Amino acid sequence: MDLVARTVFVFVLILLVTRAVGRRELSSMQPFDLILLVVMGDMVQQGVTQSDYSLTGTTIVISTLAILVVGTAYLSYRFRRLRPVLEGEPTLLIADGRVIERNLKRERMTVEEVAAEARQQSIGSLDDVRYAVLETNGKISFIGSS
C-alpha cells in the first residue's frame, strides 16, 4: 500500500509541475531539458520505490500509474469542468491581427517566438495572421487574415 500512496503522490506532483511549467516549454524541449527530464525520472523512481527492485513493486507502481493516467483521461472526458485543470485551455495570442501581450506574458513567450513558429508554418509575417492560438499541446495554430 505504501507503493500505491507514493505513486499517487508523485503522479499528482508531476501533474502540478507540468501545469506550472507551461505548455510551450514542454513542447519545445532543448537537449538540456531532455537530460533533466531523464534525471528527474530516475529521482522519481527512487522516491517511489525506495530501492524496491522486486517485480511485485514494479508491477504495483506501473499498474497504479496506468490507472491514474486512464482515470484522469476519463475524468477529463466525463467532467467538462475538470478539463481546464487536467489539460489546460487554449490561449489566444493574436486576435484580429493584434498581439495580446498579456497572454504572451502569462505564457512566458515573446513575439519573436510566435514569429519563429509562424515562419516554421510558412507564414512570412505576423501581419499575415488574423488569429494565433496556443493549443493545449503547446503548438501554435495560425489563421490567416485573408
pLDDT digits (tens, 9 = 90+) for 52-97: 778 888 888 889 988 998 999 899 899 999 988 888 889 999 999 8
* Last residue within a domain, chosen from 86, 115, 135: 86
State whether 110 and 81 are in the same domain: no
Please tell me the distance from the alpha carbon of residue 91 to that of residue 52, in angstroms, as a whole number.
Answer: 42
State whether 114 and 82 are in the same domain: no
pTM, entire model: 0.67
Please tell me the distance from the alpha carbon of residue 16 to that of residue 86, in angstroms, as a whole number.
Answer: 9
Instruction: State which residues form the domain around 47.
Output: 2-86
- Tell me if residue 134 falls in helix, strand or coil: strand
State whether 39 and 103 are in the same domain: no
Q: What is the pLDDT of residue 58?
A: 81
Give tens-digit pLDDT for 112-139.
999 999 999 999 889 899 999 999 888 8
